[in-house]
Amino acid sequence: MTWLIVGAFAMTAAHAAAAGADGAKATDTQGRITFGIDREEYDAQARAAMQVDPIVAKHLGAIRKVALDEAASMDEPGPDVLVFDVEGSRGKGRVTARFITVSPTEEVLGPGTLVMADGATHAIDGNADALAAEDEHDHAHDDEAMLAHGKDLFTRQAREAAQRYPLVQEHIGQIDTFTMNEIGTGAAVGMNTFVFDLVGSKGRGTLEAEFITVSADTERLGKGVLTLQDGRRLPFEGEPRDADEPADDEDATSLFGGMQDNIFTRQARAAAQRYPLVRQHIGTLSAFELDLSASAEAEGADEFVFAVAGDKGRGRLLAEFITVDADTERLGKGVLTLDDGRELAFEGEAPFPGEDERATETDVVDVDEDIEIPETFARQDGIFVLQANAAMQAHPVVKRHIGDIREAAFDREASWAAEGERYIFDLKGSKGAGRLEAEFITVDADSERIGDGELVMADGTRHPLGGQ
């Protein structure tokens, strides 16, 4: 199996898309520059704009890090002139240039200069097409309300959901500011859980809650906790499901083509059907449904939970599923809980004939004539990849753009060839698909964290990861 199903696959803001950025520089109460979209999203767009500029690409190479110099940017004339310190594969430099918004998801570089670390200065001509378009008409912004709040689509809808909730109305009042707490969101338990800092007419606090996608226009507030400025924690159940809201499995079918009928689930069902204990107590399977939340809570990374029913009975199957090859899963240790409450522990199937040999054959993989990947290097089913998956799922940039990870395929060959401690994964999730290349830093025996890196979406959009 070349991919790993991770987490609960829950639905969160599948429709979220970045809005356009306001070119005019403005500051918040702390004197920081504000943008018409989420700051991290704007940084990603600015980075992409610099990366495709021929002068920047020639002298800096592949951009690794960007940092906005806010004080220098505010000192520059013009409402859309920004200053970035940039580190690339060929060197370091400082870009001072206009950044021109051409669409809600794209910035391009206007005229400016690149000053290298050694003092060499290079003129940046800027994007000719964007400059010509500026001469023809004023730059348009499609959503002034969104720009005024400085939020993307998901954040606006989350804000609306929070504002509706009586507990927020009682203690926070009319929301004035609603800012995603990215560190808190990254550390939150649950793939649909986001953390926001709120300030309102009655008080301020931190909201940690599930946000459930109802439609393309609406988020619903789920379970969570409102922590007030005085330290009081007020747990709540969230808004009830609307009568017209589609069931979770209907959402999953529309977005994923049927999460209950993917290649892993079909292979897991075949493994369960082969097993004598299942045939004895459940019979021929008529239903085999993945329990998403229970699977997410299972102790082992290879353990999954299914609700099963057949012509002899029904129950609940918790078991390891072991990948034999691209076409086959094998049932490992587990427990079959019958409808009458009996729990039947089992050892699972014995290894298939030739299974050990097949594993040995893949221990060393040729990358080219001169390079071999040793057996000890990370593998798709190894502990490092499992811990890396957990780190990616918790990362706020991955949450925002990939959503709940559905598939995470480890590119072993590219990772072996990458510099330093960088590893590469192809991701698919509830919001989109992309390729993640990043440093993974060992925290302890049980966890990894993401360092410097980049997420490149399927449409080519690039999002820097930074450290956590």
Give the DSSP per-residue string, 416-442. HHSSTTEEEEEEEESS-EEEEEEEEEE
Mean pLDDT of 251-257: 38
Residues 6+ apart with CB under 8 A from 302: 320, 321, 322, 332, 381
- What is the band of 318 on the pLDDT scale with cuts at 50, 70, 90? very high
* pLDDT reported for residue 25: 56
* pLDDT reported for residue 303: 87
* pLDDT reported for residue 85: 95
- Please, are residues 120 and 65 in contact by the beta-carbon 8 Å criterion? no
* pLDDT reported for residue 215: 74
Tokens at residue 61, please?
A: 């190479």
- What is the band of 203 on the pLDDT scale with cuts at 50, 70, 90? very high
Cα distance between residue 371 and residue 231, in whole Å: 57
Closest CA to 397 of 250, 185, 215: 185
Residue type, 439: E
Mean pLDDT of 267-286: 92
Cα distance between residue 158 and residue 38, in whole Å: 14
Pick from 41-50, 114-123, 247-256, 260-269 the range whose average pLDDT is largest: 114-123
Q: Answer yes or no: is pLDDT of 421 > 50.
A: yes
Q: Answer yes or no: is pLDDT of 243 > 90.
A: no
- Among 6-10, 163-167, 259-263, 317-321, the range scoring the smallest mean pLDDT is 6-10
* pLDDT reported for residue 12: 32
Percent of the chain scoring above 70 in pLDDT: 78
Q: Answer yes or no: is pLDDT of 382 > 80.
A: no
- Among 69-73, 86-90, 135-139, the range scoring the smallest mean pLDDT is 135-139
* pLDDT reported for residue 199: 95
* pLDDT reported for residue 417: 85
Tokens at residue 159, please?
A: 């804000």
Count other C-beta atoms under 10 Å from residue 328's C-beta. 14
Higher pLDDT, 17 or 333: 333
Higher pLDDT, 189 or 91: 91
- What is the band of 247 on the pLDDT scale with cuts at 50, 70, 90? low
Closest CA to 122 of 209, 216, 58, 44: 58
Terminal CA-CA length for the chain: 30
Closest CA to 380 of 299, 326, 446: 326
- What are 217-237's pLDDT values in tens digits? 788 999 999 999 999 999 999
Q: What is the mean pLDDT of the chain?
A: 79
Q: Which helix (H) or strand (E) holds 269?
A: helix 263-274
pTM reported for the whole predicted model: 0.31
Helix intervals (H) in 221-287: 248-256, 263-274, 276-281
- What is the band of 356 on the pLDDT scale with cuts at 50, 70, 90? low
- What are 137-196's pLDDT values in tens digits? 444 444 444 334 334 678 888 999 999 999 999 999 999 999 988 777 776 666 678 899
Strands (DSSP E) contained in 237-364 are 285-290, 303-310, 314-325, 328-338, 343-346
Mean pLDDT of 94-111: 88
- Among 102-116, 362-376, 396-410, 442-456, the range scoring the smallest mean pLDDT is 362-376
Percent of the chain scoring above 90 in pLDDT: 34
